[in-house]
Structure 1
Amino acid sequence: MKSIFLRKISLILALSFWLVGSATAQESSLLWKISGNGLEKESYLFGTIHIICKSDFLMDERITTAFESTEELILELDMSDPQLQLKMQQVSMNPGMKNIKGEMDESMASELDEFLMSNYGVGLAQLGVLKPFVLSSMVLIKALPCTETESYETFYTSKATDAGKTVVGLETVEFQVGIFDQIPQDLQLLELGKMLAEDYFQTEFQSMMEAYLAEDIRKLDSVMTSSGMMAEYRALLLDERNKSWVPLIADAMKSKSVFVAVGAGHLGGENGVISLLKQAGYSVDPVK
């Protein structure tokens, strides 16, 4: 069970990272062309969801053409790293292997234990040693309204490897997990409890998916950033990371064309990747 879980969890490490910020322009798209500012070749920026129902997987000619025209794939994490699963395992446990079952109220602990037993065959007695964001990811995997899922990161990594493109990660597993370590456990457990609610995937999650598939950044922002962990820790989860990514992306684009695929939450907003690239002098235009 653990090996299966690790293969899946490495794809959705940062569950909250794909949530989107408010757009700064009227135009909206998941795919953006980067040019100008001395670049010899065009590069592209694409907003992903780290795991999605296969029937909703958005991949059309404009996206594949853009990807095929580039020389390097840039992701949040280097998904081609053969040590990625091992690294994830090493940082997924609570300090001292502490079981957090006792940190939850009795009702939530019972509900989560039942969910884990039903879907994974083991309950909180064993899985309670995992950090809250890992448990949230496990709930997401099994609560999606489908049996077949797809990952943009896995898709692009496979295509890049087949085409002989290099794959680069903007961050390490250790860094991403460290971000969650800075967020109070109580708040993370509150988010986990919200995901367990019966109507979450029929209401809030469905609204997010509709906005994503419509490439409507503004609507996605209105659904996701009004409250909760993302609203309170937006700077930590999004803005500060975006600011550290843009110089890395800019440096890579100097010598080659790149395809940057990161959580859609990093695209929009005053401190989003699109805005920051424009501030750095690049032309960033939606590809319709």
Structure 2
Amino acid sequence: MRKCVLIFFVLNLLIVNSINSQTRIENSLLWEITGNGLKKPSYLFGTNHVVSYTFILDSIRGFRKAFHSVRQVAVEHTVSPDAIDKTLFMMPLDTTYQMIYTPKEFAFVDSVMKINIQNTRVTNPYKCKPMVWYLASIAKTSAKPDILVIDAYLMQVAKSSNYKLIGLEGKDEIDRAYRKMFSSSSLKDQASLLLEQLKDPQKSIMNSSKIISEYKKQNLNAFEQYLSNFEGVNAKERNQLWMEKIPVIIKQEPTLIAVGAGHLVGEYGLINQLRKQGFTVKPVKQ
């Protein structure tokens, strides 16, 4: 069970959600938030959950200045993997993989899974739902285990700089998001996704490469044609939840809000929602 939870905690850092966009914005990852009674600027930064932290230091103009001007950092969540409801990732006791695959399909999946779990502590991958392994397979093609990604770096530096670290979501919200993810598709649908991914892993590699390329160009408006739409992790719903907290947080102290770049764009993106509440949100060019 613990292995399933650890995998899914990593996956939460890897998934960037797509948003149906009707509102084009300037292409920038770092945005200054002013006005509406703020005494000092806060900043909004779009992260990518598989890109090395060195990217922001080398390529984001004004990032160091912005970071040193704030007093707290807000991220998507700070929930420990041990706190997540383990049952969300587990197969029902009355269902097996042999029941959701044909014998031929299961034989193929089993042959690949045995290779994938070599040199790991996993002894029985079939205790976890197919969606866990589907997302784990995508993550494997996207992330390099030996790099410190942007999100982890920002949390690490916030703590070492004695900044207040704020999670925009708590345990209940995280559990609800995962529960919704798994309830949005049947076990048979999850099994089909896993089968397709194991047969053609190059497809997700190509998609991941496109997303990372557009991210490094800071091309927010191009994200939508490349991002996968995971209905269970609802970007609109999460953004609306965050917008109940962000205005309060930034009025208390100047804050760097660092969330997946997909949450910035679109009608319900944080940039548009902050502007609707009367804040001035503009890209940082230097």
The TM tier, using the shorter chain, reads 0.7 to 0.9
Tell me the residue number matched to 1:113. 110
Structure 1 segment 172-211 matched on structure 2, within 5 A: 172=171, 173-185=174-186, 186-196=188-198, 197-211=200-214
Report Cα offsets for 1:230-262 as digits up to 9, x if no partner: 4xx38x611122112112001111110111111
Asked if 2 retains the 8 angstrom alpha-carbon contact of 1:24 and 1:270, the reply is yes
CA distance in 1, matches of 2:253, 2:21: 30
Cα offset for 1:180?
0.9
Structure 1 segment 1-288 matched on structure 2, within 5 A: 6-7=5-6, 9-13=8-12, 16-19=15-18, 21-22=20-21, 24-52=23-51, 54=52, 57-60=55-58, 62-78=62-78, 81=79, 84-88=80-84, 90=86, 91-96=88-93, 98-100=95-97, 102-104=99-101, 109-121=106-118, 126-144=124-142, 146=144, 148-171=146-169, 172=171, 173-185=174-186, 186-196=188-198, 197-224=200-227, 229-230=229-230, 233=231, 237-288=234-285
Cα offset for 1:57?
4.3
How many correspondences in the alignment?
Answer: 276
Which stretches of structure 1, 4 residues or longer, exceed 6 Å deviation after superposition?
122-125
Asked if 2 retains the 8 angstrom alpha-carbon contact of 1:20 and 1:265, the reply is yes
CA distance in 1, matches of 2:8, 2:250: 30
In the alignment, structure 2 segments of 5+ residues that lack a partner are: none
Cα offset for 1:213?
1.3
Pair member with larger Rg: 2
Aligned in 2, Cα 1:257/1:100: closer, same or farther, shift over 3 Å?
A: farther
CA distance in 2, matches of 1:124, 1:28: 42
Cα offset for 1:181?
3.2
Aligned in 2, Cα 1:17/1:26: closer, same or farther, shift over 3 Å?
A: closer
Q: CA RMSD in A?
A: 3.1
Cα offset for 1:24?
1.9
User: Taking every aligned residue pair, what percent have the same amino acid on both sides?
Assistant: 24
Q: Secondary structure of the equivalent of 2:253?
A: coil
Normalised by the size of structure 2, how large is the TM-score? 0.81
